[in-house]
Amino acid sequence: MARALLCALAGAALGAVAARAAYSAFTSRVAEAPEKTATPSGEVVAAGGLGAAATWTRSNHRGEPITLLEGPAFVAGAGAAAALAPGLDPRVRLAALLAGAGSGALGAYDDLYGSTSSKGFKGHLSALAKGEVTSGAVKILGIGATGLAAAALVSRGPLDTLANGATIAGAANLANLFDLRPGRAIKVALLTGGPLLAASLLRGSPAGAALAAVPLGAAAALLPDDLGERAMLGDAGANALGALLGLAAVTTLGRPGRLAVLGTVAVLTAASEKVSFTKVIAGNPVLHRIDMLGRRPAP
């Protein structure tokens, strides 16, 4: 247990430091980047302004501008920590890099180029059935593929790979469904990842402890900016956060626990097609109090 605790502390610290450093670097670099424009001849030149910042800016639930750079910062920070954290054998380390970077890159693609014409699994898959390839469909299929690839590195046999891959991909999508209010996705991750980390420590699993601690440390370090409504995870950060916690779950838990996680992810994902998580949380006093903790008053 002592080694597992050291691996957890190292993973959390590395994730936190790397994520904060990445966020500071990204926001500074984007703020200083000149806007690009094309001349009549087609040559791209600098025109001044904040074009790069505008690319990564969206309106939040209040209609106020907010940066999406928290997401790439989380992906970079968690990736760096996963590459350096002790306690991970090469296959598990590669699985973490694949799950985090793969889902993060696909999420960033949807952040920058996605449309709102189709929403949810049903909407994107229905559009795909009609021959329309939406950015959401690309993300769903891509995260499914990266989830299976990551699972293949840590699973035993094809059935385990399929179940674990579905858990990783499903967790990536589910985390994104909570990223609708400041700090919510990170709070959900901390509340669900905390017991997973504790289970890894009790089992004396250095790999499980490091895998859970890395994304939790990176997310916790970015929480103040998320709660302060200066930044948000976006699809990039939320997808990567969920995928890494899903990987930690399938690596740490026994088969009954893994199946329970997969079932929970499936049920919540199906419910999200019919029910608004925001309305459910607002209607429950305990959940609402947790949701508002550290936030500005609701508009």
For residue range 201-213, list pLDDT tens digits in order: 998 889 999 999 9
Distance CA 192, CA 185 (A): 11
Nearest to 241 by CA among 186, 159, 182, 191: 186
Say whether pLDDT at 77 is over 80.
yes
* Six token digits for residue 29: 């670099």
Helix axes 206-227 and 234-252, enclosed angle (nearest 10)? 160
In this prediction the pTM is: 0.87
Say whether pLDDT at 119 is over 90.
no
Nearest to 174 by CA among 126, 235, 130: 235
- In terms of pLDDT, which residue wins out, 190 or 60? 190
Q: Let me know if 203 is exposed, middle or buried by CB neighbors in 10 A (0-12, 13-18, 19+).
A: middle
The domains of the chain are located at: 1-32+46-292
Distance CA 278, CA 32 (A): 36
Say whether pLDDT at 130 is over 90.
no
Least confident of 26-35, 249-258, 284-293: 26-35
| Length of the chain, in residues | 299
For residue 35, report the phi and psi dihedrals to the nearest 5 degrees.
-70, 140
* Six token digits for residue 120: 């949810």
Say whether pLDDT at 44 is over 80.
no
Distance CA 192, CA 172 (A): 13
Distance CA 182, CA 83 (A): 29
Q: What is the DSSP letter of 277?
A: H
- In terms of pLDDT, which residue wins out, 115 or 163? 163
Say whether pLDDT at 50 is over 60.
no
Distance CA 212, CA 88 (A): 12
Q: What are the pLDDT digits (tens) for 153-175?
A: 999 889 999 999 999 999 999 99
Res. 64 pLDDT band, cuts 50 70 90? confident
